[in-house]
Amino acid sequence: MRRSLVAKTYKLYVGGRFARSESGRSDPATSADGAQLANVPRSSRKDVRDAVKAARAGAGAWAGATAYNRGQVLYRFAEALESRAEELARAGVAQRALDAGAARAELDAAIDTLVHYAGWTDKLAAVMGGINPVAAPYLSFSVPEPTGVVAVLAPDEPDLLGLVEAAAPALAAGNSVVAIVSRRWPLRPLDLGEIAAVSDVPAGVLNLVSGRLDELLEPLCGHRDVNALVDATGDAGVAEQVDRLAADTVKRVSRPDGAGSLTRLEALVEIKTAWHPVGT
């Protein structure tokens, strides 16, 4: 007798662990033709607060890690994603009705993006920092530092690549991330949590929550322990709400559509300048 397949139960990825939504609610995830594929957690305000708390707990050690170490972790993340690329490409075909070639090309681009930003980690200080010429009896130099906890609003499409493109610069710059994944296609982005879990990404550095944007936007973007926002939704209505919430709590907002790597990184670091006396 043929056995039934065990349906996958999706969970949030928070603090290096897989968790059900505190509310116990879920939403159906459907394919392009409307067939139900799975149920995904419908995150609550408390889930968002838990994710920010986990991100804050993980931020210090990640920011304090050497640039070499962060680069190695992101490279390992790319390796782990590569090992599941065929599976996730097939899932893109099944879920989004993508052409097989397009699905694989999207996965390749996501892997290349992680490798690209892994290479940026030990170059940030040289590109963004430096010694500043001053006509005074002291030396002035600047160094980039991570902003802290970054909230990422991933686009609906491309679901996986869009999340990687928005989150990778923040991770490379030494920030921890809380990301709201694609609302229309949440399954593959949530799978990314499984990949992060075996990639030496420290607990709390990458946190993935799923749910409805109208319920999660205010508790995440208005949270006072979030330091910067990356709005990759491309939605004008969302942008207006994000800007209002950011202004209330004095957060930097970036919208990286079409921006180059350096621009994305610059939006997620702070420049610290110090003065040191020289001469007699």
* DSSP secondary structure of 191-221: HHHHHHHTTTPPTTTEEEE-S-HHHHHHHHH
pLDDT higher than 70, residue 5: no
What is the Cα–Cα distance from 245 to 238, expressed in whole angstroms? Answer: 11
The larger pLDDT score, comparing residue 280 to residue 157, is at 157
Rounded average pLDDT over 218-230: 96
pLDDT higher than 70, residue 279: no
User: Which residues partner with 78 through β-bridges?
Assistant: none
pLDDT band at 129 (very low <50, low <70, confident <90, very high): confident
pLDDT band at 91 (very low <50, low <70, confident <90, very high): very high
Cβ-count burial of 240 within 10 angstroms (0-12 exposed, 13-18 middle, 19+ buried)?
exposed
Q: Taking the model in full, what pTM does it have?
A: 0.93
179-196 tens-digit pLDDT? 999 999 999 999 999 999
Closest CA to 151 of 70, 76, 25, 249: 249
pLDDT higher than 70, residue 278: yes
What is the DSSP pairing of strand 228-231 with strand 206-209? unpaired
Residues in CB range of 124: below 8 A, 6 or more apart: 67, 144, 172, 173, 265, 269
What is the Cα–Cα distance from 19 to 32, expressed in whole angstroms? Answer: 27
Rounded average pLDDT over 76-94: 96
The letter for the amino acid at 7 is A
CB 256 within 8 A of CB 166: yes
- Tell me, what's the pLDDT at 280? 54
Q: Within a 10 A sphere around the Cβ of 164, how many other Cβ atoms?
A: 25
Closest CA to 211 of 180, 236, 238: 180
Domains and CATH numbers, the chain: 12-27+38-277 (3.40.605.10)
Closest CA to 62 of 74, 45, 46: 74
